[in-house]
Amino acid sequence: MSAVAAGRQWGARRSQAALRPASPAGRQADDGGAIAPAARARTVRGSALSLVCLAAALIACAAIGLAVTQSNARRFEIQRHAALRKTLDGLHAVLGDIRRFDPLQLHLIARWSGLNDLRFGTDPAVSSGREVQSLQDGNGRIVGWFSWTPDLALIRAMDWLWGLAGAIGIALFGLALALERTTWRLAHALRRSQELTRKLTSEDALTGLPNQRVMLKNLDGMLGDRERGGGRHVALVLVDLDGLREVNDTLGRDGGDDVLRALAARLQAGLPPGALLGRFEDDEFAAIARGDDAEIGTRLAAALHAGFAEPIVIGQAWQLSACIGIARSPDDGATSEELARRAALALRAAKQEGHGAVRRFAPQIESEHADRRFLLRELKAAIASEAFALHYQPIVAAAGGAIIGVEALLRWTHASRGAIAPSTFIPLAERHGLMNELGAFVLRRALSDAARWPDLFVAVNLSPVQVREPHFVAFVGELIAQTGIEPSRVVLEVTEGILIADPQEMQATLEALRALGLRLALDDFGTGYSSLSYLQKFPFHRLKIDRAFVAALGSIGNAGAIIHSIVTLGHALGLIVLAEGVETDQQRVLLRLAGVDEMQGFLFAKPRPAEAIDKIVRRFATGRAAREPAAAATAAAS
């Protein structure tokens, strides 16, 4: 993530949002993961308790009902026996002892006793479901048995109903137990959800460090304590990692995560007492601290920087580095928003300086940032309206000084700022994704203008962003076809920086450009890595000696020897060697003696618009035409 993005996130949007009280809707959204399980748990538990109460009531009613029904059944049985004895006693009083009963008598006895299907026999009834009662004589001996079928329909119906109620109660109790188990699971899920929510809202998932939200809250707290006398200064330090992409490409995402965790532990262990470390994004950390020392930010940055002194060893040794930006309250802001924005600006300035740079916020950083934002807006508008011009600087042959080519140089003249240097707006276009469009304009205009000078080649500088664009080769081929220019008259210049990032991909691209018939030049040779393998591996036609070596001729003793070595190397590889930045006649002579093939610089001509180059070319052609007859006459006389 870029420093500006960090500033924006810590700045206007996130700082203001964090400082404002959360709305009910916001709180509900934040706690949604916890509220939903809690509500469900309460609902299920209430249902379970209701079912338990209902089940208990049904089971109790069933038990009581069964007991009452059985009691009534016994009472009715006693009543039936009593009614039979009473009837028999009445018959005994009238008829005396009776040992046999005819059907009519049994019918009368059954009717008077209220019994169904009354029978009499000498053996007890063995039929299922029949009640029996003995008949005794005057001596108490059993002389027979009465049996009848009791009317138990109501009793049986009541038994069935109470049994059903009990079964329902038991089933409801089982359901209540199941609901209670569900309630326990929901409560467990609620605890896990609350813990996860707490971690997501307070911790970085990978390192366990406080996340951006918590760091912002702690920064607000420290600033509040400072107002109440809890330390005169509060420092915020942002750290942007370098080299993490290479780790991920080599070890994979999991290996990269292990390296990050190890680095986070090391940085945290090295913090001064009272300081707090947090993680913002994939490659950004932050630290805050407070105290009375005005250099608290510098000390905190030094402690963090020391964490990168030793490599992280996971699979192999990984030497990471970091750029650091510092902002301190109250000098750089009194609120978390101001501190975060200015720390991000300081970090951006540090990244522009290069790996391992540390910058503390200064007012000019903010003004430079505002100026870059203004230039970016103007640059976008200029690209849309093609408000640029191409100037061309002649390239001459070292032997004879004839103009053999021109180099296209982009110029931007702003309506209020005047001329803006390419070193200012080209990096801006590269950082913000505008270089492909801008580079396409340069190539299109340069190849179109080349038709004005059919005897000259045209050199065009390429940006690394252009060369990495997947359709760049096809685009160049289309331009060649549209303009009708001879491909051998087009020289595309690249620097070593293009070759370092992905040599294999760049080799394929340059080979494809060469296959179109174009010429390739390695620009600024002698600076950077100056690897000889580039000259062997890549299909270059020209080698351009950097102007720094040309400027040193006559003032630094070994400059001439270095240039001579470069020329010898270039010629040995079959390359044309060109020296740029030639400004004095002494430099021209020394370069000629060193064996340079082509020269370019203010000594011959400054960059001029195409119209001015027309005049220079015509003037050179006229002068050459006048010199040729004189030279022929001199040769004839000799």
Q: What is the pLDDT of residues 204-236, one digit of tens each?
A: 888 889 888 888 888 888 888 766 655 688 999
- Structure confidence by residue, pLDDT tens digits, 350-361: 998 888 899 999
Give the separation between CA 565 and CA 563, rounded to whole angstroms. Answer: 5
Report pLDDT digits (tens) over 92-147: 777 666 767 778 878 888 888 878 878 887 777 556 678 888 887 777 788 788 88
Q: Which of the two residues, 255 and 598, has the higher pLDDT score? A: 598
Pick the residue with more confidence: 307 or 126?
A: 307
Question: Using CB atoms within 10 A of its CB, is residue 23 exposed (0-12), middle (13-18) or buried (19+)?
Answer: exposed
Domain 375-540+607-637 bears CATH identifier 3.30.1490.20:
no
Query: 3-state class of 241 per DSSP?
Result: strand
What pLDDT score does 623 carry? 63
State the SS3 of 480-525: HHHHCCCHHHEEEEECHHHHHHCHHHHHHHHHHHHHCCCEEEEEEE
- Give tens-digit pLDDT for 475-517: 999 999 999 999 999 999 998 877 776 778 888 999 999 999 9
pLDDT surpassing 80 at residue 49: no
Q: How far apart are CA 537 and CA 258, in angstroms?
A: 37
Inter-residue contact 550 to 582 (CB < 8 Å): yes
Predicted local distance difference test score (pLDDT) of residue 5:
43
Note the pLDDT tens digit of each residue in 149-193. 887 777 778 778 877 877 887 887 787 787 777 777 777 777 777
Residue 546 has pLDDT above 50, yes or no: yes
The answer to whether the beta carbons of residues 552 and 571 sit under 8 Å apart is no
Q: Is the pLDDT of residue 45 over 70?
A: no
Domain parsing of the chain, residue ranges: 203-361, 375-540+607-637
pLDDT (average), residues 25-42: 50
What CATH homologous superfamily does 203-361 map to?
Reverse transcriptase/Diguanylate cyclase domain (3.30.70.270)
% of the chain at pLDDT higher than 70: 85
Q: Which of 368-382, 422-436, 454-468, 495-509 has the lowest mean pLDDT?
A: 495-509
- CA 74/CA 257 separation, integer angstroms: 82
Query: pLDDT category, 368, cuts 50, 70, 90?
Result: confident
User: Which structure tokens are listed for 353?
Assistant: 């300086």
Q: Could you tell me how many helices (H) and strands (E) the chain has, helices first?
A: 22, 20
Predicted confidence at residue 240, as pLDDT, reads 93
What's the pTM value of the predicted model, to 2 decimals?
0.62
Mean pLDDT of 280-296: 87
Mean pLDDT of 237-262: 88
From its phi and psi, is residue 119 left (phi > 0), alpha (psi between -120 and 50) or beta? beta
Query: What is the token pair recorded at 335?
Result: 């609120």
Across the range 64-70, mean pLDDT stands at 80
